[in-house]
A and B are shown apart, each in its own frame.
Chain A
Amino acid sequence: MGKYITKRILLMFLTLFIIMTMSFILVKLLPLPAVREMGRDVNLILARREKMGYNKPILVQYYLFLKNVITEWDWGVGEQMYEGLNVWSVMMQKLPYTVLVNLYSILIAIPLGLGFGIYAALKKNKWQDHLISTLVMVFISVPSYVYAFLIQYFLCFKLGWFPLQLESLGKAGSLFSWRMFSSMIPAVLSLGFGVVAGLTRYTRAELSEVLTGDYMLLARTKGLTKAQAISRHALRNAMVVILPMIIGEFIGILGGSLIIENIFGIPGVGSLYITSINVRDYNFFMAMSMFYTFIGLASGIVNDISYGLIDPRIRMGSKK
């Protein structure tokens, strides 16, 4: 197992390196944004660019970039936004918002999703199952921003239960205050629908497949009650597939949802990324792109490894 994990992680870094190289070269081929003269010393900015090696050949710049990242974990400073501030520390400031919103939505969604999924699988082909499956189909298909608009209009505007936008940290006191939490609820709900629907569908499919297995018949024949057979045999086997998916979701919360953050004004990493694209801040863009690539890769690996940990018979991509 250890060897397998090492191999997967090394492969991940190789992939990450390739993607980083390609992105860096593509970004550096772009013209630098013009220096805005309003209230700034143009020469100072030009001097800073010179010092940071922006006028050197691209490969030399890449070497410098890699050296800074590997030795000092220095991803550069903001040029067009958060000027002069360290890119990494700005990102770390934004991360808690994204993580909190996504964490809440997942924590709410998991029990609901599992519950609905199990219920639908047990009532397979009855009206309850048809109802749940239809709803799941609808909720999975409708884009998350549509929920966001509906929630913002009905819950926030018409009923006035929640603020339209996320409260600022200054007003709410702290990230974990009640006021902050309640202003996060609309975003949490909008994200939650999709997760619940996805999890329900997955659980239902897995569990209903497991329920038809011969060992379920054997368990019943041995004299276990239906509840015992389901909880001890069916659920455990279904979890082999469901649990890695949930673990993968947890890694995904770091990335967050760009569009939901935009709608509810959450100052998370997603909106940072969008801003970096819109104002053409290439240092931020590079760092954020790598961040997202890393999250994608990491959740894939964690997913595969957790399969192996939960069920030792499965080793994704290993020789045996």
Chain B
Amino acid sequence: MMNEQRIPEIPAEKFRFIQQNEKIHDERIKTKPIGYFKDAWLRFVRNKSAVVAFGLIVFLVLFAIIVPFISRYDVTFRSGYYKTMQPRNKWFVGSGFWDGGKQENLNKDSFEAIRAIGVETGRNVIMKENRVYTDSKGVEYHDVRVDSYYRVGFAYINLTQDEYTKLQQYQTEKNIQVIYPLSATAGTDFLQGNGGANYWYKLQNEASTSTGSPLLDEKGQLIPNYLTSAERNRAGYDSLRVSWDNGGPEGNEWLVYAQKNQSGYRVRVDYYEYFRYLYGQEPSFLFGTNGYGQDLLTCLAAGARLSFLLAIFVSVFNFLIGGIYGAVEGYYGGAVDMVMERISDVLYDVPFMVVATLFQLHLANTVGVLPSLLFAFVLTGWVGMAARVRMQFYRFKGHEYVLAARTLGASDRRLIFKHIYPNSLGTIITGSVLAIPGVIFTESMLSYLHIINLETSSLTSIGTLLAGGQGYLSTYPHIIFFPALFISILEISFNLFGNGLRDALNPSLRGAED
């Protein structure tokens, strides 16, 4: 208005009609129509955090599905020697992080014992020596980073004749030494160092059955102390030998590589190589192992699988039962609603713990732990869904379009499923998705508290893993760290995704917290 423009006069003959004799039609809409779900999708992708959360969920689901297939181990795998191993990623070896190492403060004897393993196997157990110090009492301590895989060292195992022959063949073929000569202390019951298998050198005090100080020669080297025999007692051994053993008598005696016993042979093996022989790969666990020697990566994936399956089943059942129950309540209203509401009221008020426990006590033996847990979840879980659906039905059943459909003669069933249900679908889907993190959390809590016992030979759950790691919290925190991290990410992503879904499907509820 401020800079008012003067329109110059336009002569009348410059105007002409665009059309004079034809009819004007509305132009056809050329763009594609945007339906409810398309609209919701457009809103959803604008919500960046929900999209990221959805990506994370997809990743975790894929993790749970794929890992058990590609993993060389399964849940039943329990290594008696590789317990509480640190997480190790082959790409990180040497970096001082995620390399299977553990910071330890060792006294001199323990330090020497661990170093001696490295001397015999040729794999250096000590990854890094930080410092050596002497405390006020004059005891020498070593602050070192120890490779938890290499420190396992040697073990005495029993093999049958067949296994013994095969192992020797493997040795000769691959030129890898697995069987080492027995230690002179093989008969003694050592408490530490895998029953004394790691003491292949002379100790200052031979009688000691605990950690002993090594006896060193004049060059400061460990003195080998292998079992020898005057007879040519090699128990059928003709494979690789320790480097300085030429297969002949040392002095007047031969080194003993195996002892015959009732079942076969007792041999002393380098367990790292023996593991490789058994499983075809080096012992290396991406997430480490827990206190039972299970591979945490595989267990976590198996536990996640269980959680996802349970949550999805619960969601689907709640969706079906709650959806139909709520629809009937809301659609018919009146006395039907009154009676049905009282029933769901009572169920709503029963604490879930009580239901879960009672179902567990009654049904676990007949139908199994998992189905009875599923029943317990469904028994109380559908109530919330029914309440939501009921509210939606109350909202929509009085709308003109429903009345119009009724006037046209639509049956009750048609009205419910064709006319009202689609309108409440957004609420129902959101409710189903937002129920999933709750189910997963509750399941982990119940199995953590041992109220449900999901731990069978081939089954595990996140809660069981957490419970198994609790005792090692201060010494091996990684056992509890991975399951805890997993469930935290899972819960956060599901909540973000659920909220994003709610905002997208019911834009009117945006920002509401229920």
The reply to whether B349 and A15 contact each other, CB–CB distance below 8 Å, is: yes
Q: Mark B340-372, 1 if CB is under 8 A from A, else 0.
A: 000001100111011001100110000000000
Residues in B419-438 with C-beta less than 8 Å from chain A: 437
The reply to whether B488 and A296 contact each other, CB–CB distance below 8 Å, is: no
The reply to whether B445 and A289 contact each other, CB–CB distance below 8 Å, is: no
Q: Mark A267-298, 1 if CB is under 8 A from B, else 0.
A: 00000011001101000010001001100110
Tell me, in angstroms, the Cα distance from A280 to B437 when the chains sit together: 30
Q: How many inter-chain residue pairs (CB < 8 Å) link A and B?
A: 95
Q: Mark A22-35, 1 if CB is under 8 A from B, else 0.
A: 11001101100000
- For residue A146, which residues in chain B have a CB less than 8 angstroms away from its CB? 484, 487-488
- For residue B164, which residues in chain A have a CB less than 8 angstroms away from its CB? none
- For residue B480, which residues in chain A have a CB less than 8 angstroms away from its CB? 149
The reply to whether A259 and B349 contact each other, CB–CB distance below 8 Å, is: no
- For residue B494, which residues in chain A have a CB less than 8 angstroms away from its CB? 141
A152 within 8 A of B: yes
Known contacts A15-B346, A143-B441: A289-B362 contact under CB 8 Å: no
Shortest CB–CB separation between residue B487 and chain A, in angstroms?
6
The reply to whether A23 and B473 contact each other, CB–CB distance below 8 Å, is: no
Q: Mark B472-514, 1 if CB is under 8 A from A, else 0.
A: 0110010010001001100110111000000000000001110
The reply to whether B358 and A27 contact each other, CB–CB distance below 8 Å, is: yes
- For residue B492, which residues in chain A have a CB less than 8 angstroms away from its CB? 137-138, 141-142
B450 within 8 A of A: yes
- For residue A27, which residues in chain B have a CB less than 8 angstroms away from its CB? 358
From A30, A138, A263, A273, B361 is in contact (CB under 8 Å) with A30
Known contacts A153-B473, A205-B511: A141-B353 contact under CB 8 Å: no
Closest chain A residue to B357, Cβ basis: A277
- For residue B349, which residues in chain A have a CB less than 8 angstroms away from its CB? 15, 19, 293, 296-297, 300
- For residue B488, which residues in chain A have a CB less than 8 angstroms away from its CB? 141-143, 146
- For residue A19, which residues in chain B have a CB less than 8 angstroms away from its CB? 346, 349-350
- For residue B513, which residues in chain A have a CB less than 8 angstroms away from its CB? 201-202, 205
- For residue A137, which residues in chain B have a CB less than 8 angstroms away from its CB? 492, 495-496
The reply to whether A157 and B445 contact each other, CB–CB distance below 8 Å, is: no
A140 within 8 A of B: yes
Q: Mark A196-231, 1 if CB is under 8 A from B, else 0.
A: 000001100100100000000000000000000000
Tell me, in angstroms, the Cα distance from A140 to B445 when the chains sit together: 16
Tell me, in angstroms, the Cα distance from A293 to B352 when the chains sit together: 10
The reply to whether A152 and B487 contact each other, CB–CB distance below 8 Å, is: no
Tell me, in angstroms, the Cα distance from A23 to B448 when the chains sit together: 24
Shortest CB–CB separation between residue B444 and chain A, in angstroms?
7
The reply to whether A205 and B362 contact each other, CB–CB distance below 8 Å, is: no
Shortest CB–CB separation between residue A264 and chain B, in angstroms?
11
Tell me, in angstroms, the Cα distance from A197 to B57 when the chains sit together: 23
Known contacts A258-B445, A293-B351: A23-B484 contact under CB 8 Å: no
Q: Mark B92-107, 1 if CB is under 8 A from A, else 0.
A: 0000000000000000
The reply to whether A293 and B491 contact each other, CB–CB distance below 8 Å, is: no
Number of B residues near A (Cβ < 8 Å) is 36
A237 within 8 A of B: no
B451 within 8 A of A: yes
- For residue A300, which residues in chain B have a CB less than 8 angstroms away from its CB? 349
Tell me, in angstroms, the Cα distance from A221 to B487 when the chains sit together: 50
The reply to whether A293 and B473 contact each other, CB–CB distance below 8 Å, is: no
Known contacts A153-B474, A274-B451, A293-B351: A18-B346 contact under CB 8 Å: yes
The reply to whether B445 and A259 contact each other, CB–CB distance below 8 Å, is: yes
Tell me, in angstroms, the Cα distance from A277 to B358 when the chains sit together: 9
Tell me, in angstroms, the Cα distance from A140 to B473 when the chains sit together: 23
Closest chain A residue to B467, Cβ basis: A262
B176 within 8 A of A: no
Shortest CB–CB separation between residue A91 and chain B, in angstroms?
16
Shortest CB–CB separation between residue B253 and chain A, in angstroms?
52
- For residue A250, which residues in chain B have a CB less than 8 angstroms away from its CB? none
- For residue B444, which residues in chain A have a CB less than 8 angstroms away from its CB? 143
The reply to whether A289 and B354 contact each other, CB–CB distance below 8 Å, is: yes
- For residue B441, which residues in chain A have a CB less than 8 angstroms away from its CB? 143
From B445, B448, B473, B512, A205 is in contact (CB under 8 Å) with B512
The reply to whether A277 and B451 contact each other, CB–CB distance below 8 Å, is: yes
The reply to whether A274 and B437 contact each other, CB–CB distance below 8 Å, is: no
Tell me, in angstroms, the Cα distance from A300 to B437 when the chains sit together: 24
A145 within 8 A of B: yes
Q: Mark A241-272, 1 if CB is under 8 A from B, else 0.
A: 00000000000000000110011000000000
Tell me, in angstroms, the Cα distance from A201 to B494 when the chains sit together: 17
Q: Mark A157-172, 1 if CB is under 8 A from B, else 0.
A: 1000000100000000
Q: Mark B213-241, 1 if CB is under 8 A from A, else 0.
A: 00000000000000000000000000000
The reply to whether B496 and A263 contact each other, CB–CB distance below 8 Å, is: no
What are the 10 closest A-B residue pairs judged by CB atoms, nearest first?
A141-B491, A141-B492, A289-B354, A292-B351, A141-B495, A142-B488, A157-B474, A146-B484, A205-B513, A26-B358
B residues sitting closer than 8 Å to A (CB atoms) are 345-346, 349-351, 353-354, 357-358, 361-362, 437, 441, 444-445, 448-451, 466, 470, 473-474, 477, 480, 484, 487-488, 491-492, 494-496, 511-513
A residues sitting closer than 8 Å to B (CB atoms) are 15, 18-19, 22-23, 26-27, 29-30, 137-138, 140-143, 145-146, 149, 152-153, 157, 164, 201-202, 205, 208, 258-259, 262-263, 273-274, 277-278, 280, 285, 289, 292-293, 296-297, 300
Chain A to chain B contacts (Cβ below 8 Å), 30 pairs: A15-B349, A18-B346, A19-B346, A19-B349, A23-B354, A23-B358, A26-B362, A27-B358, A137-B495, A141-B437, A141-B488, A141-B492, A142-B492, A143-B491, A145-B484, A146-B487, A146-B488, A152-B473, A153-B474, A164-B474, A202-B513, A205-B513, A273-B353, A278-B450, A280-B361, A289-B351, A289-B353, A293-B351, A293-B354, A297-B349
